[in-house]
A and B are shown apart, each in its own frame.
Chain A
């Protein structure tokens, strides 16, 4: 390997007759005047000046190359390999052409590649094209992980990529970008596993119900399995966790109501007027409901008539109350807006959001757990706004109190993680979850609150937030506009940007402000698996099989079943299992089992017998 051609202080070409180069490989140039210069391969090509191109620029027919080989000349041996190498640090003078080039030893690249100890960082994967240097690596960096490539588990033979989580203090927040199927969610899973290893309090917003860590990945060797059961908790909004209505401020309630689609000015006004401090859900709801009912009567006269015509005291008091509301608010709270608020409130309530609180989440964070909040995107938008605001301010109060030297309850630093982040912080329009995420992106560093935001569409993510993401993991990206955004928002080079559409699933460029250059890595094999990575078609098949087996189980000890005796069998089943089968469904299911060869059907002169 030698430096060839014209060189500059930043870039050189290296040629070799027998060694192919790999992109992102590190090489050391021994310049006789300037000493050792370290560089990274940014482009690699194999070149054969004799393998001709046809007049149309295609490769010429291979039969000619074969023929030439037959008369003794192997053109392929004339292939030379050329690498464009960018120096990590600009040289003082252009590099001496003809300088020798060698592969660095581990110690020479250690500081460039390893930025954190194994115990204190996130061991996320391997740095690609480092296998040769990895040979001389200290034991502590070996055998930390597996990768999963081409359907196989592979042991680690490259230098590990360890994300220095402590650097977040200076360079906060992480973005995870990549197109569909590029490995974002998988990468996020690995990040979360590592956060659990370090017991870092974390909130995960999980609209896909995929961030469960109780299933061990099949490919993991049994003795290497890591159990995360007591390190995380999956909580569903409305079922395990919710909002405590009494704690809500007017702003909170507006945020909640506003989260799915923006409130009109009139609606905002209605909340300002009708929501009272210390309202319970019921008191607020009743106030709205009665006002609406009064407004539906249409006039004071008709409400008065209702009062007169009331049959009971209770009813009369009710209408009395409605009249009062009507008198106080009808003018300033238009009917349609009041109705709109009531409708939204009902909907939130039906989703169970007001039936629980966030105590379990807070406790989890205090214990250094990873809390996965699950729910539909819409409900998560609503709930996360409230939740993140709440937790962030607790942490902030604590830190501010410390600063002012007054006492306050301890609240730990924490990380907020979300997939589909563009739904929570969209570019171009406002939504409540965006304001809090924006605030954290700008100020969170001071309080030890950090974001990890993943999205398929960086272009749709709020640009103020994007600009605050100091570390970016960039997986395969095909869409031109997203590549453009990525180029603007990271320090990836032109050459790297050109490779983005072709990255393998799970391969990633890591652009860290802390590093000042991009690392090309492969995310390690996750220890756990998402509960529904099952192929949807396998899922269908499994589901029917499961159903069939269940049904067979139920009827097994009823066999043989006579065709004229269905009624009695169904009754028996009903009393034993509580399951009721309509007659024709029952027969259909039996025939289905016959078709599948699970039971037999015999025809008799009078009826069929199933056995």
Chain B
């Protein structure tokens, strides 16, 4: 048995009290009431059907689905002695053996291309560069993917808005090309971070909810398996303009996922939602199997990155810059 410090125990009990207190308003909301409120103020709740095999074959005939995902690995110690490696992948359901990989890296030690000075570099700025790099290679992979495979739709792992914010220029290129060629571009969001419904709740004085809750908290367990909420464009925020989105419970797990699509393609949103629903195992956490596969293809084990660095960097460089004191202990 481990002996647990009493202070720690008390702290955990305390956290529980705080959270229970904070969420008691939400937890006490009646489920039917919430659903009705959402129907009236957010958008209709609709139950989806899965695609039949014949319907699915149509996707194959029209070019298949291109899945996009990215990964990053970090090696080294504290700022600025680390290196981050990014990899983006575009993989079509139709071309098993022809996946497109894109890679990039970032280290504060080498910022020539970034056009910033190491010494005046701020944390925010740095963060921005890193997000941009990851988003960019994903978009690049997508771009090359649509050119090479001409898919019916592109399914990105994560919200489309993210690309809009993080790598605007590249994103516009992808967006334009998809719209021109009639390729559907859709984002699947595992971890929704919005508070669309939460804001409505808070601003509605009749509800007496003082805090802003996240949508994932409010929607937990609310929808039935296969149900979606079509979010009406009036309720979306300014930053989300130009996109249409929905929430969906895609598996038996009580949590919901989100999806978004270009406004110009919003007629296809429900079609894509049905596709995601069809491809999600009932007993999973709600992510379509296809994206899971792309995800596991793009991930690089840390061991492998380390192996690569060890093989291709000079030992002195490696040790001087990228091996943290903690890592040295295990080497």
Residues on A lying within 8 angstroms of B by beta carbon are 49-50, 52, 54-56, 58, 60-61, 63-68, 70-75, 77
Query: Contact partner of B290 among A55, A56, A73, CB < 8 A?
Result: A73
Query: Contact partner of B283 among A61, A68, A75, A77, CB < 8 A?
Result: A61
Interface segment, B55-63, B102-110, B225-233, B237-245? Answer: B55-63
Q: Is B94 an interface residue (CB 8 A)?
A: yes
Q: Which of A54, A58, A77 has the most CB of B within 10 A?
A: A54
Decide if B292 touches A71 in the complex (CB within 8 Å): no
Decide if A72 touches B289 in the complex (CB within 8 Å): no
C-alpha spacing A54/B252, complex, angstroms? 11
Decide if B253 touches A67 in the complex (CB within 8 Å): no
- Give the chain A neighbours of B279 by CB distance below 8 A: 64, 67-68, 71
Decide if B293 touches A50 in the complex (CB within 8 Å): yes
Decide if B93 touches A50 in the complex (CB within 8 Å): no
C-alpha spacing A143/B235, complex, angstroms? 81
Decide if A71 touches B60 in the complex (CB within 8 Å): yes
Decide if A73 touches B283 in the complex (CB within 8 Å): no
C-alpha spacing A28/B27, complex, angstroms? 64
Query: Measured between C-beta atoms, what is the minimum distance from B282 to chain A in Å?
Result: 5
Q: Is B296 an interface residue (CB 8 A)?
A: yes
Decide if B296 touches A50 in the complex (CB within 8 Å): yes
Not counting A55-B283, A55-B284, a sample of 15 additional A-B residue pairs whose C-beta atoms are within 8 angstroms of each other reads A52-B281, A52-B284, A52-B289, A56-B283, A61-B282, A64-B279, A67-B53, A67-B56, A68-B93, A68-B289, A70-B59, A71-B60, A71-B290, A72-B93, A73-B290
Can you offer 16 A-B residue contacts whose CB atoms are under 8 A?
A54-B283, A55-B284, A60-B282, A60-B283, A61-B283, A64-B282, A66-B53, A67-B50, A71-B60, A71-B65, A71-B93, A72-B92, A73-B93, A73-B96, A73-B293, A77-B96
Map CB proximity to A onto B126-165 as digits: 1 under 8 Å, 0 otherwise. 0000000000000000000000000000000000000000
Contact A60/B289 with A68-B93, A71-B64, A77-B96 known, Cβ cut-off 8 Å: yes
C-alpha spacing A67/B54, complex, angstroms? 10
- Give the chain B neighbours of A73 by CB distance below 8 A: 93-94, 96, 290, 293
Query: Measured between C-beta atoms, what is the minimum distance from A67 to chain B in Å?
Result: 5
- Give the chain B neighbours of A72 by CB distance below 8 A: 59-60, 64, 92-94
Q: Is B285 an interface residue (CB 8 A)?
A: yes
- Give the chain A neighbours of B57 by CB distance below 8 A: 70-71
C-alpha spacing A74/B290, complex, angstroms? 11
- Give the chain A neighbours of B23 by CB distance below 8 A: none
Decide if A50 touches B65 in the complex (CB within 8 Å): no
- Give the chain B neighbours of A60 by CB distance below 8 A: 281-284, 289
Chain B: residues with Cβ within 8 Å of the partner, total of: 27
Query: Measured between C-beta atoms, what is the minimum distance from B58 to chain A in Å?
Result: 9
Map CB proximity to A onto B37-59 as digits: 1 under 8 Å, 0 otherwise. 00000000000001101001101
Q: Which of A56, A70, A74 has the most CB of B within 10 A?
A: A70
Query: Measured between C-beta atoms, what is the minimum distance from A48 to chain B in Å?
Result: 11
Decide if A55 touches B289 in the complex (CB within 8 Å): no
- Give the chain A neighbours of B292 by CB distance below 8 A: 50, 52
C-alpha spacing A152/B290, complex, angstroms? 45
Residues on B lying within 8 angstroms of A by beta carbon are 50-51, 53, 56-57, 59-60, 64-65, 92-94, 96, 253, 278-285, 289-290, 292-293, 296
Decide if A68 touches B53 in the complex (CB within 8 Å): no
A-B CB proximity, top 5 nearest: A54-B283, A70-B56, A60-B281, A73-B93, A72-B93
Decide if A71 touches B281 in the complex (CB within 8 Å): no
Decide if B93 touches A55 in the complex (CB within 8 Å): no
C-alpha spacing A246/B60, complex, angstroms? 95
C-alpha spacing A73/B280, complex, angstroms? 14
Decide if A71 touches B289 in the complex (CB within 8 Å): no
Query: Measured between C-beta atoms, what is the minimum distance from B191 to chain A in Å?
Result: 17
C-alpha spacing A509/B331, complex, angstroms? 44
Decide if B56 touches A71 in the complex (CB within 8 Å): yes
Decide if A68 touches B284 in the complex (CB within 8 Å): no
Decide if A67 touches B51 in the complex (CB within 8 Å): yes
Query: Contact partner of B59 among A66, A71, A74, CB < 8 A?
Result: A71
Minimal Cβ-Cβ distance residue in A for B57:
A70
Q: Which of A49, A60, A65, A73 has the most CB of B within 10 A?
A: A73
Decide if A54 touches B296 in the complex (CB within 8 Å): no
Contact A50/B53 with A68-B93, A71-B64, A77-B96 known, Cβ cut-off 8 Å: no
Q: Which of A50, A61, A67 has the most CB of B within 10 A?
A: A67
Decide if A55 touches B278 in the complex (CB within 8 Å): no
C-alpha spacing A179/B280, complex, angstroms? 46
- Give the chain B neighbours of A50 by CB distance below 8 A: 289, 292-293, 296
C-alpha spacing A49/B60, complex, angstroms? 23
Minimal Cβ-Cβ distance residue in A for B54:
A70
C-alpha spacing A71/B93, complex, angstroms? 7
- Give the chain B neighbours of A61 by CB distance below 8 A: 281-283
C-alpha spacing A64/B291, complex, angstroms? 13
Minimal Cβ-Cβ distance residue in A for B290:
A68
Query: Measured between C-beta atoms, what is the minimum distance from B54 to chain A in Å?
Result: 8
Query: Measured between C-beta atoms, what is the minimum distance from B273 to chain A in Å?
Result: 14
- Give the chain A neighbours of B59 by CB distance below 8 A: 70-72
C-alpha spacing A308/B116, complex, angstroms? 140
C-alpha spacing A525/B216, complex, angstroms? 66
Decide if A70 touches B53 in the complex (CB within 8 Å): yes
